[in-house]
């Protein structure tokens, strides 16, 4: 299973170039990860590899396992434990996607029909459970209690973040602080863990492992902030999922938090009708985007992403200025400037 990413339309884009650079840098390791993914998702129950393969082979960026591979190499690791652990990280991520698509009732991901749209919710949830279980098998096979602690803790935090998002769904009174709690848990936790374990298996000092964790945490925040912007600014063909999904679901993201907070009483009534009551009419999405632009909600969300980008870059200052550090710094640009 090769990594399927089309860079043709973004050759001049700094972010896309940075991702291509990282992929090239760890290409041999990444191919081993892809082979391990294929091997470890097999099961005598035919539906499991069929459904899991549909998601895993659908052209994802493999960003999280890429981070594990690069962080390991940055720390001078020369073994092969990072291959299985990068696979573990991808399985955790894939499991959360299968579950998310059921919760969000999504029909499209990465430009393809979601697994739940094809096989139904029950199968998607159960195969997601299988991938979670298989990821824990890989952790146990690795044999490090510290790695197990980091990845199992991240898995718990991700679940807590998803539940927290469910609790705050459709609530226009959601604060920026509450929103940040959600994305730090549901998205940034796995980014942080994926990076930190690279330092752990290389037996690097605590200061370097914490630096990798900080880098990953802030990168994950950036990734989710931009994801929330793209839902209102991207084209469906480029994004690979339906534009406006968050709006239609009444999902409260930072652009809405800012637009609501800065809006007039009349505008707040619009947000309450569309997000809390989910009484949406033709043209409401376009009006929502207009209000976001009026109050600089999208541009300010991007500025916040840039702020966290500075923190992520600074976290890597503890490491030697080599090709892996340069590539990881470049990934910050990718996450900020990405169009998909």
Number of domains in the chain: 1
Look up the domain containing 204 and give its range: 11-329
In a domain, residue 245? The reply is yes
pTM comes to 0.92
**CATH classification of the domain holding 163:** 1.10.600.10
Q: How far is CA 278 from CA 77, 256, 306, in A?
A: 51, 14, 32
Asked if 261 contacts 293 with a C-beta cutoff of 8 angstroms, the reply is no
Lowest mean pLDDT among 237-241, 278-282, 285-289, 296-300: 237-241
In a domain, residue 203? The reply is yes
In a domain, residue 218? The reply is yes
In a domain, residue 1? The reply is no
Lowest mean pLDDT among 49-53, 306-310, 331-335: 49-53
In a domain, residue 334? The reply is no
Alpha helices in 169-296 (DSSP H): 176-183, 189-201, 206-233, 236-239, 245-249, 254-262, 265-271, 284-294
In a domain, residue 340? The reply is no
What band does 7 get if pLDDT is binned at 50, 70 and 90?
very low
In a domain, residue 139? The reply is yes
Specify the pLDDT at position 13.
58
In a domain, residue 313? The reply is yes
Specify the pLDDT at position 29.
97
Q: What's the CA gap between 19 and 316, in Å, rounded?
A: 17
């Amino acid at each position: 299973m090769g990594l399927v990413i089309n860079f043709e339309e973004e050759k001049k884009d700094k972010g896309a170039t940075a991702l291509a650079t990282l992929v090239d840098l760890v290409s041999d390791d990444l191919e081993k990860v892809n082979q391990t993914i294929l091997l470890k998702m097999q099961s005598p129950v035919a539906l499991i590899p069929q459904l899991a393969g549909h998601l895993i082979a659908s052209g994802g960026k493999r960003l999280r396992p890429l981070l594990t591979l690069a962080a390991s190499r940055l720390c001078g690791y020369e073994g092969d434990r990072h291959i299985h652990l990068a696979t573990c990280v991808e399985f955790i991520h894939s499991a959360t996607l299968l579950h998310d698509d059921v919760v969000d009732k999504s029909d499209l991901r990465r430009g393809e029909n979601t697994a739940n749209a094809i096989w139904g919710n029950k199968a998607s949830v159960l195969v997601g459970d299988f991938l979670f279980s298989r990821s824990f098998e890989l952790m146990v096979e690795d044999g490090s209690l510290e790695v197990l602690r980091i990845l199992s803790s991240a898995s718990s935090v991700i679940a807590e973040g998803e539940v927290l998002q469910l609790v705050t769904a459709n609530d226009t009174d959601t604060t920026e602080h509450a929103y940040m709690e959600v994305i730090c848990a549901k998205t940034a936790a796995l980014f942080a863990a994926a990076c930190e374990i690279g330092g752990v298996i290389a037996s690097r000092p605590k200061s370097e492992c914490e630096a990798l964790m900080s880098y990953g945490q802030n990168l994950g925040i950036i990734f989710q902030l931009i994801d929330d912007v793209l839902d209102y600014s991207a084209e469906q063909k480029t994004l690979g999922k339906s534009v406006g999904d968050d709006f239609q679901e009444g999902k409260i993201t930072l652009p809405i938090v800012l637009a609501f907070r800065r809006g007039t009483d009349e505008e707040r009534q619009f947000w309450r009708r569309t997000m809390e009551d989910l009484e949406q009419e033709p043209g409401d999405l376009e009006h929502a985007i207009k209000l976001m632009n009026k109050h600089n909600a999208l541009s300010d969300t991007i500025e916040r992403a840039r702020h966290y980008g500075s923190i992520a870059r600074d976290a890597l200052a503890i490491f030697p200025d080599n090709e892996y550090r340069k590539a990881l710094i470049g990934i910050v640009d990718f996450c900020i400037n990405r169009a998909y």
